[in-house]
Amino acid sequence: MPKNYEPLDTTSDVTTTTTLLHEAIPLTGTIASGTYGTLANGGNIKNYTHGMFQSVYDYPYLSSSANHIFDLTAGYDEGSALSGSSSRVQQKKKINLYNQFAQVLLGYTGSNNIVEIFESDLDYGDNSNQMKEVLFVDFSRLIVKDQVKPGTFSMVLGTGSWSGSFNRMEGGKSALVTLTDKSASADGTNTKNTIGGDYGVLWASGSNDATTARGYGDLRGSTRKAYGVVFYQAGIAILTSSIFSVDGAGSGVNLADFYKHPSLGNQTINQTLTGSSISGACDALRHRISNISFNNTTEINSKIYFCRVPHNKYNYSANPTYTSGSKIIVKSVASDSPISYITTVGLYNSSNELLAVAKLSEPLRKDPTNDITIRVRLDY
Amino acid sequence: MAFLDNSGDIILDAVLTETGRKRMADGNFSISKFALGDDEINYTQYDKNHASGSAYSDLEIMQTPIFQPLTTTAAAINYGLLSLTNVGVLYMPAAEVNELINQSLAATGSVYYVAVNAATKTNLVTDFGGTTAGAPYVMQAGSNSARSVLFEFGINSSDIGATAANRSAYISNMNLLDSGISVSADSRFINGVMQITRNSRFSNNANNDLTAVINTEIVATSTAARNLDNYNEYSCRCIDDLIFVPSTNTATSLSAITGPRGTLGALNIDVLTELKTESGGTRSTLWNNYGRLSQTVAAGSSKTYDLIDTMVYIVGDTTGTSLQIPIRLARSTN
């Protein structure tokens, strides 16, 4: 227990700072679609009896080593053309899910408190580019941390046939479509603020080929098209179903076999959303995820304590080895300078309780000829 | 606990302690001061006479690997660096147990026996040699008995004569007099320590005639020790140690310190009531949980005892000089 303490002046010896730490998060599609078993029964895929969503882990989820990576679910607005007769499979749940995401991320509109509709643009109140039938990819806090870094999100999907989702198509065109928020920036450029945080638009990039793939447009020209949004703080990507079907302008691809239902056979995405369970739609999307990557962000708030050691203090030690026969070992005569070696900095409250401790990687010599400032940073 | 990487620039690895996290949860995390430690350093590695010169004296010390920080408050800074204003200090007080006078308790088997009740004391004295020979080895818990653990602070070097003038020059005037001490004791067994009374006296005259009036009194108030789990800390006093070299001799047999003496302290302890039950009474589970049951302490004796070993820590308030007193609590079982 130390006997000598040095006060810290809260105005001159303590300061705060904030830094952002980014980590690259690459998620290979095989984790979602087959590393731990044949679709749809991967050991890392967890389905629930309620059937509302599906969880993807990085390892068979029964293992304590498994980490939760993301959840998948699907839904549509009650005003969607898909909303209809009671014969729709899990229709109520799909509508409830759409509303749940919309009310949390976009809020309500109008005097009747109608939930906003997702739109694949930054002006979510203008009712254009509405996404009424969507697939949700909800990333775990474990990998998103504080938020997805704007401008770094990328998701590559296969738009080929069910049996060859990622294979090249006729004419050598790629079946892969990349959705990216590349135009967004951490300074707020090309992002929109909502009650659910900021979001950016996911634009399609046909492929890495010079040839634009299958009518998805290209980021490089005016033909670019948006197929979803990504909410950065929430860590949620929302994809419109039209990415797997022909949109209103006749663009895109109308996949007849978006999903191969175990008993009903091939289904388009609209048939999947109406005629298959939510977990079926999730299986279909997993089957077509080639790659996902983004940078996450951790906001680190730090308090820095400048521990100033004056020249005339802490030059002696109570260490039992400091003396031999009461004589200070580092001195031969009284006029020699006392010397001590600092290895540890203890930070205390006014009651002398040790609240934090810092260790130097090597001893620091202290004698009356030097004063030292040790900068201790505590991150929160 | 691994070592820190010391292959490159000096880095600082900082962590919150358990107490720090607790205070943060309570909403009263407020750092207001700092202290420095050097627990890993072994100063005996300092080579004042290094063949290559004084620049190499601390070569070994500077290569000492440093542990990563612990989050427990124990072992964070056990001793600490001192801010003595006088750079001319060459000798620092040491602490030594005095077993030389009639009022002092002596160790047997390197531990100090504390009987938890009068019957146990009687039996132990008998086992240790009888009323006269065995008495120096036993004191009774919570009793201002004839003996206690006595310890002295002073310059334990024959370089300096143990004169009154040197006591002033090397201790008092250097602000190295430990008039107060902190005593840390395990609160699971010990609920009070006994300090030396203010009017006690420890001195000799020119003929080496001893004046030793040593009484103890209970110190019941304590605070939780900040660097030891389950320990309470007691603030105790010391009195002036006025044993000087007699005019007729060059040394004295009254002190454990060779050079000038600073202060003297005395220690006894009081224990929990449940530990004091006599052999016919209910045995506390503490004896079984933390000690050994029905042990003999002397060869050939049929007397048996429950024993608990514990350590009491003494630290000088001024110099940080420390002493560890190994205590053996004993309860007679037959």
* pLDDT band at residue A117 using 50, 70 and 90 as cut-offs: very high
Q: Answer whether A355 touches B (CB < 8 Å).
A: yes
Which residue is it, tokens 């007769």? A85
pLDDT in tens, B116-164: 999 999 999 999 999 899 999 999 999 887 899 999 999 999 999 999 9
Return residues 143-172 of A near B (CB < 8 Å). Answer: none
Q: Which helix (H) or strand (E) holds B24?
A: helix B18-26
Q: Which of A331, A352, A359 sits opposite B4 (nearest CB)?
A: A359
* pLDDT band at residue A222 using 50, 70 and 90 as cut-offs: low
Q: In the predicted model, what is the mean pLDDT of residues A127-151?
A: 95
What's A44's DSSP letter?
T
Q: Which of B4, B88, B94 sits opposite A323 (nearest CB)?
A: B94
| Cβ-defined contact of A2 to B67 (cutoff 8 Å) | no
* pLDDT band at residue B8 using 50, 70 and 90 as cut-offs: low
Q: Which residues pair with A156 in a beta bridge?
A: A178, A291
Give whichever of A239-253, B58-72, B91-105 has the largest mean pLDDT: B91-105
Give DSSP secondary structure letters for A96-155: HHHHHHHHHHT-EETTTTEEPPPBSSS-TTS--SB--EEEEEEE-HHHHBTEEPTT--EE
Q: Which residues pair with A344 in a beta bridge?
A: A359, B37
Q: How far is CA A138 from CA A53, A74, A148, B291, in A?
A: 10, 11, 12, 57
Q: Can you tell me the distance from the alpha carbon of B52 to that of B83, in angstroms, rounded to the nearest whole number?
A: 31
Question: Do the Cβ atoms of B313 and B324 come closer than 8 Å?
Answer: yes
Of B176, B87, B190, nearest to A315 by C-alpha is: B87
* pLDDT band at residue A218 using 50, 70 and 90 as cut-offs: low
Distance from chain centroid for Cα B69: 26
What chain A residue is nearest to B36 in terms of C-alpha separation?
A345
* pLDDT band at residue A63 using 50, 70 and 90 as cut-offs: very high
Q: Can you tell me the distance from the alpha carbon of B329 to that of B190, in angstroms, rounded to the nearest whole number?
A: 10
Tell how strand A176-180 and strand A154-158 pair up: antiparallel
Backbone dihedral angles phi then psi of residue A314, each to the nearest 5 degrees: 55, 35
What chain A residue is nearest to B9 in terms of C-alpha separation?
A361
Tell me the chain B residues in contact with residue A324 when contact means C-beta distances shorter than 8 Å: 44
CA distance B194 to chain A (A): 21
pLDDT in tens, A64-86: 999 999 999 999 999 999 998 77
pLDDT in tens, A300-330: 999 999 999 999 999 999 999 999 999 999 9
Q: Answer whether B1 touches A (CB < 8 Å).
A: no
What's A280's DSSP letter?
H
| Cβ-defined contact of A366 to B14 (cutoff 8 Å) | no
| Cβ-defined contact of A327 to B44 (cutoff 8 Å) | no
Residue A172's CB is within 10 A of a number of other CB atoms, namely 8
Q: Answer whether B183 touches A (CB < 8 Å).
A: no
Backbone dihedral angles phi then psi of residue A119, each to the nearest 5 degrees: -130, 150
Q: Is the pLDDT of residue A214 over 60?
A: no
Percentage of chain B lying above the pLDDT 90 cut: 78
Q: Which of A319, A332, A355 sits opposite B20 (nearest CB)?
A: A355
pLDDT in tens, B164-212: 999 999 999 999 999 999 999 999 999 999 999 999 999 999 888 999 9
Three-state SS at A75: strand
Q: Is the pLDDT of residue B83 over 90?
A: yes
Which residue is it, tokens 């070993």? B309
Omega cis (within 30) before A40 = yes
Q: How far is CA B228 from CA A318, B37, B183, in A?
A: 18, 16, 12
Q: Can you tell me the distance from the alpha carbon of A93 to that of A88, in angstroms, rounded to the nearest whole number?
A: 11
**Dihedral sign from CA coordinates of A213, A214, A219, A223:** positive
What chain A residue is nearest to B31 in terms of C-alpha separation?
A349
What's B284's DSSP letter?
P
Q: Can you tell me the distance from the alpha carbon of A317 to that of A295, in angstroms, rounded to the nearest whole number?
A: 48
Tell how strand A372-379 and strand A289-309 pair up: antiparallel
Q: Can you tell me the distance from the alpha carbon of B328 to that of B314, in angstroms, rounded to the nearest whole number?
A: 16
Tell how strand A354-366 and strand A316-317 pair up: unpaired
Q: In the predicted model, what is the mean pLDDT of residues A362-366?
A: 94
> Higher model confidence: residue A110 or residue A276?
A276
**pLDDT recorded at residue B253:** 85
Q: Which of A5, A335, A342 sits opposite B38 (nearest CB)?
A: A342
> Higher model confidence: residue A79 or residue A205?
A79
Which residue is it, tokens 């006060």? A7
- Inter-chain Cβ pairs, chain A and chain B, closer than 8 A: 289
Residue B325: both structure tokens together: 């007193």
Q: Is the pLDDT of residue A207 over 60?
A: no
Q: Which of B46, B66, B319 sits opposite A361 (nearest CB)?
A: B66
Interface with A, mutate which of B9, B16, B21, B33 (most A CBs under 10 A): B33
* pLDDT band at residue A159 using 50, 70 and 90 as cut-offs: confident
What's A320's DSSP letter?
G
Question: Do the Cβ atoms of A239 and A134 come closer than 8 Å?
Answer: yes
| Cβ-defined contact of B41 to A345 (cutoff 8 Å) | no
Q: How far is CA B56 from CA A11, B53, B60, in A?
A: 40, 6, 8
Q: Answer whether A323 touches B (CB < 8 Å).
A: yes
pLDDT in tens, B252-262: 789 999 999 99
Which residue is it, tokens 């005259």? B205
**pLDDT recorded at residue A171:** 65
**pLDDT recorded at residue B37:** 95
Q: Please count the residues of chain A.
A: 380
Q: Answer whether A12 touches B (CB < 8 Å).
A: no
Entry pTM: 0.80
**pLDDT recorded at residue A212:** 47
Q: What is the rounded end-to-end Cα distance, in angstroms, of chain B?
A: 46
Q: Which of A313, A326, A355 sits opposite B16 (nearest CB)?
A: A355
Q: Which helix (H) or strand (E) holds B132?
A: helix B130-133
Q: Can you tell me the distance from the alpha carbon of B57 to that of B62, in angstroms, rounded to the nearest whole number?
A: 10
Q: Can you tell me the distance from the alpha carbon of B296 to that of B300, in angstroms, rounded to the nearest whole number?
A: 9
Q: Is the pLDDT of residue A210 over 50?
A: no
Q: Is the pLDDT of residue B1 over 70?
A: no
What's B109's DSSP letter?
T
Interface with A, mutate which of B9, B40, B82 (most A CBs under 10 A): B82
CA distance A66 to chain B (A): 26
Percentage of chain B lying above the pLDDT 70 cut: 98
Q: In the predicted model, what is the mean pLDDT of residues A2-26?
A: 93
Query: Alpha helix (H) ranges present in chain A?
Result: 29-32, 91-105, 141-144, 269-275, 278-287
pLDDT in tens, B17-63: 999 999 999 999 999 999 999 999 999 999 988 999 888 999 999 99
Tell me the chain B residues in contact with residue A305 when contact means C-beta distances shorter than 8 Å: 31, 34
Whole-number average pLDDT of chain B: 92
**pLDDT recorded at residue A211:** 47
Query: Alpha-carbon Rg of chain A, whole angstroms?
Result: 29
Whole-number average pLDDT of chain A: 89
What's A60's DSSP letter?
-
**pLDDT recorded at residue A209:** 46
Q: Can you tell me the distance from the alpha carbon of B44 to that of B67, in angstroms, rounded to the nearest whole number?
A: 19
**pLDDT recorded at residue A215:** 57
* pLDDT band at residue A170 using 50, 70 and 90 as cut-offs: low
What ipTM was reported for this prediction? Answer: 0.89
Three-state SS at B15: strand
Q: Can you tell me the distance from the alpha carbon of B138 to that of A341, in angstroms, rounded to the nearest whole number?
A: 42
Q: Is the pLDDT of residue A111 over 90?
A: no
What's A244's DSSP letter?
G
Q: Is the pLDDT of residue A208 over 50?
A: no
Q: Answer whether B33 touches A (CB < 8 Å).
A: yes
Q: Which of A344, A350, A365 sits opposite B77 (nearest CB)?
A: A344
**pLDDT recorded at residue B196:** 96
Q: Can you tell me the distance from the alpha carbon of A49 to that of A86, in angstroms, rounded to the nearest whole number?
A: 21
